[in-house]
């Protein structure tokens, strides 16, 4: 399973990729991207690549608690495991959604919507989410994990697991939209998924975190309008 397979520098499928897009998932042959487990493994790998950079501030905060409070190395490992459980669970949900939409003709074999209206709608939903109370709360917790630790402190490996899972849920609540945007540019486009990862990292940087959320939302809404206009034939 080759992610980014036969894509040009801006993530568009080449000839082989175009042929793959046209394949019918109901054909009587084995196609990895039409089966749950290969897609699930792909999403687990992508989730790890996208979320690991955002986990760094959390682990640094827990390191401070090991040095200055009663944090332990077992608790640190528990936090990592808690995040991992949430990532795997979310990967399962989004992989299941991809297979469901593929077999109903909403997505093609590369994970790209078969209609520009679907892509425009997804961009609009994710853009609008950037301005919601839920985004603000999840972003605040994900951006400042130390406050979460102080308010939900549990000792030991099991305590770390519970805190890691809680923080992982907030992180998914903050970033689910950027992961779902893989369905706009194609889940096999390394460039597109890399851009989503870059946005998530910027949202965690202390210097700029609260300054980028709404501008990103505006950019996504503008993008939704452009895609909709192109789909309607207003723009060439």
In a domain, 114, yes or no: yes
Rounded CA gap, 112 and 38, in Å?
17
Q: Does residue 8 belong to any structural domain of this protein?
A: no
Residue 15: pLDDT over 80: no
Q: What backbone torsions phi and psi does residue 70 show, to the nearest 5 degrees?
A: -110, 35
Across the chain, what does the average pLDDT equal? 86
Q: Does residue 80 fall inside a structural domain?
A: yes
- Inter-residue contact 181 to 119 (CB < 8 Å): no
Give the least confident one: 15-19, 92-96, 206-210.
15-19
Condensed to tens digits (0 to 9), the pLDDT of residues 189-198 reads 778 778 888 8
Q: Which domain holds residue 207?
A: 33-232
Answer with the residue of higher pLDDT: 210 or 123: 123
Going by the DSSP 8-state scheme, the letter that residue 182 receives in this structure is H
Strand-pair partners of 13 = 7
Does a structural domain hold residue 26? no
- Cβ atoms of 106 and 70 within 8 Å: the answer is no
Residue 92 belongs to a domain? yes
Please tell me the distance from the alpha carbon of residue 78 to that of residue 49, in angstroms, as a whole number: 20
Examine residue 13 and state whether it is found in any structural domain, yes or no. Answer: no
Number of domains observed in the structure of the chain: 1
Q: Is 11 within the bounds of a domain?
A: no
Q: Report which of 44, 48, 51 is spatially closest to residue 95, judged by C-alpha positions.
A: 44
Model pLDDT for residues 48-102, shown as the tens digit of each residue: 888 888 788 899 999 999 988 888 999 999 999 999 999 999 999 999 999 999 9
Flag whether 82 is in a domain. yes
Rounded to 5°, the CA angle 160-164-168 comes to 175
Which residue is associated with the tokens 């042929």? 19
């Amino acid at each position: 399973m080759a992610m980014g397979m036969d894509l040009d520098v801006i993530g568009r499928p080449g000839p082989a990729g175009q042929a793959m897009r046209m394949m019918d998932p109901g054909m009587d042959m084995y196609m990895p991207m039409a089966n749950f487990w290969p897609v699930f493994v792909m999403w687990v790998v992508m989730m790890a690549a996208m979320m690991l950079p955002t986990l760094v501030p959390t682990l640094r905060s827990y390191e401070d608690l090991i040095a200055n409070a009663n944090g332990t190395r077992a608790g640190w490992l528990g936090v990592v495991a808690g995040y991992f459980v949430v990532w795997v669970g979310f990967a399962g949900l989004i992989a299941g959604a991809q297979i469901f939409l593929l077999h109903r003709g909403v997505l093609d074999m590369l994970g790209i919507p078969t209609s520009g209206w679907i892509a425009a709608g997804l961009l609009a939903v994710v853009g609008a989410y950037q301005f919601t109370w839920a985004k603000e709360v999840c972003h605040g917790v994900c951006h400042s994990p130390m406050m979460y630790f102080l308010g939900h402190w549990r000792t030991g490996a099991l305590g770390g697991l519970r805190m890691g899972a809680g923080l992982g849920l907030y992180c998914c609540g903050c970033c689910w939209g950027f992961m779902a945007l893989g369905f706009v540019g194609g889940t096999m486009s390394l460039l597109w998924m890399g851009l989503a990862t870059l946005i998530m990292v910027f949202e965690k940087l202390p210097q700029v975190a609260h300054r980028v959320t709404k501008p990103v939302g505006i950019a996504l809404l503008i993008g939704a309008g452009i895609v909709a206009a192109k789909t309607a034939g207003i723009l060439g």
